[in-house]
Structure 1
Amino acid sequence: MNRRFAGHIVAAFVTLLIALAAAFSLTACEAPGWPFAGNAAYQVNAPQWFDPASLPAYSGNPSVEVNGNIPAFTETERRRDAFEEYAELDKLGRCGVAFARIGSETMPTEPRGAIGNVRPSGWQLDKYPWVDQKYLYNRCHLIGWQLAGENDNERNLITGTRSMNTQGMLPYENEIAAYVNGTGNHVLYRVTPVFQGKNLVASGVLMEAESVEDRGAGVQFCVWCYNVEPGVRIDYATGKSEADGTIDEAAADDSDDAAETTATARPTAPAAQAANDIPEELRADETDATFVFNANSRKFHRPGCPSVEDMSARNRLYFGGTREQAIELGYDPCGYCKP
């Protein structure tokens, strides 16, 4: 009788372990892009008024309005003079809140610097043929470089998908930059990366902005940007990823090859070889490149150089290293932009 009772206990315990393992698997792997589903507790950095678990699951739109699109700034915060603050990294090396009063005085006055030496929490170098520029992850500035001129500030860089960086966050950053450049006014701007539990990759970022002098008449938004990539299942605990089967990888490869064949009048081997010669940690994309290489002429340029626009796409390579590293790789500085 006792042995039978003990057997029941063991069986129940094993069943419980299996259920827990399944729940963990669903949170980390089977709910791509939305680890908050069914688990509203323990959301690191999220302000008390904001519950990510109440937001709609990602359905293709890179961002969604929060709180009626009204930022949650206090009157004390609105009255603050010039400031720029980046939270210390936590024990897991994760970024916290980035908060600043953006104006012409915070914007960059020098060329963009290298950021390839920073490895944000959860950083991986995974590639997928259907992702723009191939690499799944970017080093995403919480406060964009064009607004604050921060380069390799590890407290301002998170592991973000290409889609979140360029489709989610960038349009809002551009809106702020255009307003400041056009009016000379200021914008109160706060970006909060939100992590679930001990995950190393943020599930998304909360972006709040309000123009100061006109009390939000020029710029005002409060949005959530999803840290997701179509066709990719992300394990937010580690940053590892895999194709989720919703995009035909072979077709994407064929489409990419066909596009390259159509666009090129000669073999692309030199450009491909040049890309392979760049160490992975120094590779970048157009949003965070310090220089742009021409694989054909072996010249390197500032990203804003007119020669970059004239450069064939097949020869254009984005580089995230320093001037000295570019020269060591065998590239010469452009004589026009003098990088």
Structure 2
Amino acid sequence: MSKKRRPGRRNQQSSIIGYLVIFIVVVVGALAVDGRHYSTSNKGSLLEEASSVVRSVTQGANPANTGTTTAKGTQQLAKLNYSGKQTVLVNENQPTFTKAQLSMSHGAWAHYGDLDSLNRVTGASAMLNRSLMPTAKREPLYVNPTGWHNRKIRYKGETTWLYNRSHLLGYQLTGQNNNLKNLMTGTQSLNSPGMEIYENKIASYLRETTDNVRYEVTPVFRGTELLARGVHMQAESLRTRSIRFNIYIFNIQPGANIDYQTGRAKQAAS
């Protein structure tokens, strides 16, 4: 069997642009993806955020609302405080997977860490492939992760729920739904557009290729707090550089003052 020629850099860049353009069209055209709902009022901001992801890949710029950090590892990330940038790049946005962690010796797989002594979710990792993606209709979520004290808040004249049941590995990637090892309490802004922008980018790539993507999501807790301060996400596609990021997203919500020890929150003063 003859070996396939590795595509040139120009062809790879064209493929990346193509995937991301498709992603933007899908995001803007859908009001609910992976069970996360958008209001008409925030579609414009979502388009702007998605467009910025395209610019970050093709031009080397950072996505909108994105900063940087020198923190590495869960303990260092847990010490970070939100200062206006909800997403920050870790290790200059370069994933840190070892050669062994990128091995395809076990094929496509997904692993969910055990809950800790406080019943908190500990993390999930996977070697993603199109074969793991679900085909059945998704059922409603009903389990409550730690810190689940949902309430409605008002921000900029709109009322919204504060929290979502946030998947570590998005349902569209592995089909895991009411799995306590895969769910954490996440704010609306952490869930969408925060995590979802990156999940949709991976999902679009998997649907269009036969490639695999190494993916890891780790919730970051501070001490014994029941609500995570954020999530550390990194991913790397094996055959191309189409998927490659290492980020930390703060679990914050404009309009809410959150007690991370319990998950309870109060309406922020306007």
TM above 0.5, yes or no, is yes
Alignment of 1:258-337 (within 5 A): none
Structure 2: which 5+ runs fail to align? 1-70
Look up the match of 1:233: 257
Give me the whole-angstrom Cα distance separating, in 2, the residues matched to 1:133 and 1:109.
Answer: 33
Stretches of structure 1 lacking an aligned partner (at least 5 in a row): 1-39, 41-45, 248-339
Residue 128 in 1 paired to residue 160 in 2? Answer: no
SS at match of 1:179: helix
Q: Is the 8 A contact 1:63 1:226 kept in 2?
A: yes
State the shift of 1:58 in Å.
Answer: 2.3
Residue 179 (structure 1) shift: 1.0
SS in 2 for 1:233: strand
CA distance in 2, matches of 1:82, 1:102: 6
1:91 is matched by which residue type in structure 2?
S
Which of the numbers 228, 237, 251 marks the counterpart of 1:202?
A: 228
**How big is each residue's C-alpha offset from its partner over 1:69-108, in whole Å with a ceiling of 9 and x where there is no partner?**
0111111110143221000111111001100011111111
Say which SS state the counterpart of residue 78 (structure 1) adopts.
coil
Q: Which residue of 1 aligns with 2:98?
A: 74
Q: State the 1:218 CA deviation.
A: 1.0
TM-score, length-normalised on structure 2? 0.69
**Equivalent AA in structure 1 for residue 151 of structure 2:** D
Distance 1:178 1:62 in 2: 24
Which amino acid in 1 is paired with 2:154?
P
Aligned to 1:52: 77
- Displacement after TM superposition at 1:53 (Å): 5.4
Decide whether aligned partners of structure 1 residues 140 and 237 sit closer, same or farther in structure 2, where only a CA change above 3 A counts: same
Deviations 1:304-338 (A, max 9, x none): xxxxxxxxxxxxxxxxxxxxxxxxxxxxxxxxxxx
Residues 183-205 of structure 1 show CA distances to partners (whole Å, capped at 9, x for unaligned) of 22111000000100100000000
CA contact (8 A) 1:62 1:167 kept: no
- Counterpart of 2:231 in structure 1: which amino acid? V
Count of matched residue pairs: 197
Q: What is the aligned partner in structure 2 of residue 100 from structure 1? A: 126
Identity, % of aligned positions: 42
Instruction: Tell me whether 105-114 or 131-140 shows the greater mean CA deviation.
Output: 131-140
Distance 1:160 1:83 in 2: 25
Q: Deviations over 1:170-223 (max 9, x none)?
A: 000011011111222111000000100100000000000000122xx1100000
Give the AA of the match of 1:111: K
Distance 2:95 2:118 in 1: 28
Instruction: Give the 5 Å matches for 1:65-214.
Output: 65-80=89-104, 81-116=107-142, 118-130=143-155, 134-214=160-240
Output the amino acid matched with 1:110: A
**Do the aligned partners of 2:154 and 2:255 also contact (CA within 8 Å) in 1?**
no
Q: What is the Cα deviation at residue 166 of structure 1?
A: 0.1
By percentage of residues, which structure has more strand?
2
CA distance in 2, matches of 1:196, 1:53: 5
Cα drift, residue 54 of structure 1: 6.4
Aligned to 1:63: 87
Task: Name 2:48's counterpart in structure 1.
Answer: none
3-state DSSP class of the match of 1:224?
Answer: strand
Do the aligned partners of 2:78 and 2:222 also contact (CA within 8 Å) in 1? no
Deviation beyond 6 Å, 4+ runs, structure 1: none
* Cα displacement (A) at 1:144: 0.6
Which entry has the higher C-alpha Rg, 1 or 2?
A: 1
CA distance in 2, matches of 1:125, 1:53: 23
CA distance in 2, matches of 1:53, 1:82: 30
One-letter amino acid of the structure 1 residue matched with residue 173 of structure 2: L
Structure 1 residue 133: Cα displacement: 6.4
Tell me the equivalent position of 1:253: none
Structure 2 CA distance for partners of 1:114 and 1:229, relative to 1, 3 Å: same
Name the amino acid aligned to 2:210: G
Equivalent residues of 2:154, 2:267 under 8 A apart: no
CA shift at 1:62, angstroms? 2.7
Tell me the distance in 1 between the aligned counterparts of 2:255 and 2:154.
10
